[in-house]
């Protein structure tokens, strides 16, 4: 969240090890989303309403004051409730201390809700009727559910008669995110925005796949219903937010630069759990990205935030190099652990593009990537980069493209291939 000139990042963290467990809300602060200082934990198990865990949630700016909604675990049976926390001292620019008032929990699952699959409250939004609304992710008979709650004072929450949205056979919906996007510009909108030229996005993290999916649609405010646009599909046959190692994402509206910023978690776990213990850490925050609606209105566009430019040092260039088919050229001079690469590939002709098999149209892009991997030669492709490459090419990660010729247009397939990330696996064979 952004508050009084400071960005705050809260994240799930195990202070006792590099495996999942003992979860607290770790806290870091920044003025530029790039350089961060770690602060003391904001929320940790200490009360009867979160004794067994302080799980994920969201921040809301309520009457110019930040409030955190989070899931508390109250017993060994994994019973989940929704709590809130507030800063102990608003005059502290870093908001180091947070308190959990004794009127928690705010929301307890009724008999219609699976109380062990009831978590991750969203940022709340304020309707024209003066009521606050929030979503909590859940599942009912394999049907993913975004349960809707309303409140006039942010303290007493009442469950709506119907969920904001639900979809069969999609499993538990974790970390839901619901926000507006403009249909005519790339600037962000406050989560409570209710006006013209707007669509809404509902994103969920699917527990059964460990991937992120979203739909774009219309939020009918009077009925409190979200209807995905025609052709939009819930679940794993729908739009993925990211095709890499990316989960439990959350966006926030940044009023300083009038944009919506996306954060996500990259697991980064090793093949064997003992590797993570030896290494001492597992899991990173993915690069923050600006998010907006494509002009077609059919999918989201994302791009690394502009502040990342300050990390660029020691420019390395390779220009006007002609590549023969199958040729590999090392880009000399890159010594950093991280590199931000801009690359352009040009062709004199597309006539050699291979035919796009019509049967692939019903497949996921990643399935086509698996069939036409980095070692399978085609007409125009694969071409791209070999990243994280070891000596003698024992290990590398290709990021590559292919160009296909369809009936009346060309299709470009972009893939990454993790099958050559083998060192940690070999150690245990």
Q: Taking the CB of residue 241, how many other CB atoms lie within 10 A of it?
A: 24
pLDDT digits (tens, 9 = 90+) for 160-217: 999 999 999 999 999 999 999 999 999 999 999 999 999 999 999 999 999 999 999 9
Average pLDDT over residues 379-386: 94
pLDDT digits (tens, 9 = 90+) for 77-133: 999 999 999 999 999 999 999 999 999 999 999 999 999 999 999 999 999 999 999
Sign of CA dihedral 321, 324, 325, 331: negative
Q: Is 168 exposed, middle or buried (0-12, 13-18, 19+ CB in 10 A)?
A: exposed
Predicted pLDDT at 426? 40
Predicted pLDDT at 427? 41
- CATH for 2-309, among 3.40.50.12160, 3.30.2350.10, 2.115.10.20, 3.40.50.300? 2.115.10.20
Contact 157, 136 (CB under 8 A): no
DSSP line for 114-176? -TTSEE-PPPPEE-TTS-EEEEEEEEETTEEEEEEEEESSSSS-EE-SS-SEEETT---EEEE
pLDDT digits (tens, 9 = 90+) for 396-423: 999 999 999 998 899 999 998 887 775 5
Q: What is the DSSP letter of 361?
A: G
Q: Domain 314-426 falls in which CATH fold? A: Jelly Rolls (2.60.120)
Average pLDDT of the residues of the chain: 94
Predicted pLDDT at 282? 84
Contact 343, 392 (CB under 8 A): no
pLDDT digits (tens, 9 = 90+) for 225-240: 999 999 999 998 899 9
| Among 111, 95, 13, 98, residue whose Cα is nearest residue 47 | 98
The domain segmentation of the chain, as residue ranges, is 2-309, 314-426
pLDDT digits (tens, 9 = 90+) for 254-267: 999 999 999 999 98
With a pLDDT cut of 70, the percent of the chain lying above it is 96
Does the fold of domain 314-426 match that of domain 2-309? no
Query: 3-state class of 307 per DSSP?
Result: helix
């Amino acid at each position: 969240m952004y508050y009084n000139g400071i960005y705050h990042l809260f994240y799930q963290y195990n202070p006792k090890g590099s495996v999942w467990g003992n979860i607290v809300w770790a806290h870091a602060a920044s003025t530029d989303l790039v350089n961060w200082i770690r602060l003391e934990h904001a929320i940790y198990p200490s009360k009867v309403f979160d004794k067994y865990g302080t799980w994920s949630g969201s921040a809301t700016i309520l009457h110019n004051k930040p409030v955190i909604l989070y899931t508390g675990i109250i017993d060994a049976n994994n019973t989940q409730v929704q709590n809130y926390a507030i800063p102990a001292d608003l005059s502290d620019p870093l908001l180091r201390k947070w308190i959990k008032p004794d009127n928690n929990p705010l929301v307890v699952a009724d008999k219609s809700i699976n109380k062990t699959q009831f978590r991750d409250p969203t940022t709340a939004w304020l309707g024209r009727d003066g009521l606050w609304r929030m979503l909590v992710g859940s599942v009912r008979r394999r049907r993913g559910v975004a349960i809707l709650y309303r409140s006039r004072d942010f303290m007493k929450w009442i469950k709506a008669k119907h969920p904001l949205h639900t979809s069969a056979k999609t499993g538990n919906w974790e970390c839901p995110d619901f926000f507006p996007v403009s249909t005519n510009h790339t600037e962000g909108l406050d989560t409570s925005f209710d006006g013209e030229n707007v669509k809404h996005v509902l994103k969920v993290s699917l527990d059964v796949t460990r991937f992120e999916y979203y739909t774009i649609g219309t939020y009918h405010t009077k009925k409190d219903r979200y209807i995905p646009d025609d052709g939009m599909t819930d679940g794993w046959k729908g739009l993925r937010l990211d095709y890499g190692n990316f989960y439990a994402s959350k966006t926030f509206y940044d009023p300083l630069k009038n944009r919506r910023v996306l954060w996500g978690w990259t697991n980064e776990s090793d093949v064997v759990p003992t590797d993570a213990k030896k290494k001492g850490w597992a899991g990173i925050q993915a690069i923050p990205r600006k998010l907006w609606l494509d002009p077609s209105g059919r999918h989201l566009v994302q791009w690394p935030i502009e502040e990342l430019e300050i990390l660029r040092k020691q420019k390395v260039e390779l220009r006007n190099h002609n590549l023969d088919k199958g040729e590999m050229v090392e880009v000399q001079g890159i010594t950093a652990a991280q590199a931000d690469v801009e690359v352009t590939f040009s062709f004199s002709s597309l006539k050699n593009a291979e035919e796009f098999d019509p049967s692939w149209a019903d497949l996921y892009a990643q399935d086509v990537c698996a069939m036409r991997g980095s070692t399978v030669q085609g007409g125009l492709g694969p071409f791209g980069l070999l990243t994280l490459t070891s000596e003698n090419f024992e290990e590398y990660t290709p990021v590559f493209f292919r160009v296909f010729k369809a009936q009346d247009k060309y299709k470009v397939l972009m893939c990454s291939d993790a099958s050559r990330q083998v060192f940690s696996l070999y150690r245990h064979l």
